[in-house]
Chain A
Amino acid sequence: MQMVKNRWLKIGSEVLVLASLFTLVQYLIAANLLSQYLQINLTSMCINIILAVSLSLINGFTGQLSLGHAGFMAVGAYVAVIMTNMLDQPFIIGILAGCLAAALAGFIIGVPTLRLKGDYLAIATLAFGEIIRVTLQNIDYVNGPAGIMGIPKLTTWPWLFGGTVLTVLVIVNLVNSSYGRAIVSIREDEIASELMGINTTKYKVLAFVIGAMFAGLGGVLYAHYFYIIKPETFNFLKSFDILVMVVLGGLGSTTGAIIAAIFITAITAALQSFPAIRMILYALILIIVMIYRPQGLMGNKELSTKIFGRIWSGRNELNGNK
């Protein structure tokens, strides 16, 4: 009974925090207190969180090095834009279609490539990402290399916030379940995992498909905020950017991925005023972090309210000992 009560207490407090965060930003936007510049960065931040958390499921938890995440983002973005811009469907249809298409692409790419390991898988996914990009460049229906312009700006704060929360929630809940343990056991030791009764191929593909689906969501939200999409936006450098966030945050840590996504978006924004040395500073910051925190900002630990609880109970113990 106590456990059930604690569970509801925890859910209640989480909902309260999220709801107040949402209302605060919604109010700031409605009251015109948030500058255009900050709004753009806030949008990038949310999209980066979606991308980093979804890739962290594949790279961090399943331990499969994938370098094609931008490809899934592209599939989501293009399919959604075709729905909203060309076929005049409502945004929600665009979102659903984009996510489904990206998940399908993840399945098609995952089944043949996930039998490869390590470097070989990395190269195969990299190649598939590029295939998606080059294919888009050669489809006249979506204007080839020129891309699609004049996409309606449908990504509003509620969609953005909802999408980010949904992504984090689904992936955190998945990871902290028996299915998540099965997925993580593949990272730890694939042979032992298989011998303990885990169908490793099935779970690798599952993680890949879910990761791709949310990358698609990131793509949909991106396309409907920044007015224009072209194949070049989703090249392998974009995949690499997302990978940097996951590694920086710590492989196997969702909170790490979120913190790193916020951190990198903030750095990129801050360095925009020094265009000449921007990339050098960016690289330097990454090198410094990797030297002093080679396991990433969070390692494979999670930041949670439990830590504060532990500090609190530790203090009480000290007081009790006096």
Chain B
Amino acid sequence: MNLMEINNLDKSFGGLSALLDFNFQIAENELVGLIGPNGAGKTTVFNLITGVYKPDRGSIMFRGENLAGLPPYTICAKGIARTFQNIRLFNDLTVLDNVKISAHKNVPYGLISAIFRTPGFFRGEEEIEKEALRYLELFHLKDKKDELAKNLPYGEQRRLEIVRALATRPLLLILDEPAAGMNPQETQELMGLIRHIRDEFNLTILLIEHDMSLVMGVCERLYVLDYGQIIAEGTPAEIRSNRRVIEAYLGEDVE
């Protein structure tokens, strides 16, 4: 069954058409990649799905509900979480607090309870902390929990972004260039991590990536976007031999 189905999505900025008649499906538990040259509209797709932009036309059906035009926090509540191309952590907060914020949408106590420090508040805080620590432990960030997010090395910041997104307990996780700025070894580790997350949390993952070794290695299906339009769709092997894709993106001498 398809977890998400996007039909005829259009988005333009001023006179510039960023996305034209975009159609897309992703099945439950699938790992799909979205690739394309710079400026092809990949991040625009992510911004439309997560509600940062409102589409001009079309529908984004997620578990039978149209998400088009809903605000980002509602979309997050429905089970979609993402990371960012340019890391957007809460820099001046600790690693632990960064993850705890994701738990707020299910906060187990009320505002009055927080202000008057009722027993429910302490119980709830304990619960939130335990949960956040569990996530940090899974991603080997637990001993850094009291450091400020901005003081983490680059690779760990990327990992923390993934943890923070996971802590909102999504059904669909969207990764925007998770390997950007990583060296080949870190990219290898990331590939393992992405597969692990999918199996461990029983997730569906959609990712944008420029690193072809990662995309080809980890994704089960690919969409190729160029000038705001899908030009190809298929398994990594099919995409690798697709003439239009080679022309548009990969260049003549791939393989």
Contacts and interface: CB of A to CB of B under 8 A. Distances in A.
Given A173-B117, A179-B114, A196-B102, A185 B84 contact: no
B73 A194 contact: yes
Given A182-B101, A189-B89, A199 B73 contact: yes
B4 to A, nearest CB: 17
Contact of B72 (A4, A182, A195, A300): A195
Contacts of B107: 178-179
Contact of B115 (A170, A193, A198): A170
B73 A177 contact: no
Contacts of B125: 177-178
**Most chain A C-beta atoms within 10 Å of own C-beta, residue among B52, B93, B121:** B93
B24 interface: no
B82 interface: yes
A188 B105 CA distance: 18
Contacts of A191: 52, 72, 88
* A: interface residue count bin: 20 to 34
B73 A189 contact: no
Given A173-B115, A191-B88, A199-B73, A181 B50 contact: no
A54 B162 CA distance: 35
Given A174-B114, A191-B52, A197 B88 contact: no
Nearest to A252: B92
A178 B76 contact: no
A7 interface: yes
A192 interface: yes
A200 interface: yes
Contact of B105 (A7, A197, A200): A197
B176 to A, nearest CB: 11
23 contacts: A173-B114, A177-B125, A178-B100, A178-B128, A181-B100, A181-B104, A185-B90, A185-B93, A185-B101, A188-B90, A188-B91, A188-B92, A192-B88, A192-B89, A193-B90, A194-B71, A195-B72, A195-B82, A196-B105, A196-B168, A197-B73, A198-B101, A199-B73
Given A177-B114, A179-B114, A196-B165, 6 more contacts: A178-B128, A181-B100, A191-B72, A195-B50, A196-B105, A200-B73
The 10 closest A-B pairs by CB, nearest first: A197-B105, A177-B114, A188-B90, A197-B76, A192-B88, A194-B72, A178-B107, A182-B104, A199-B73, A185-B101
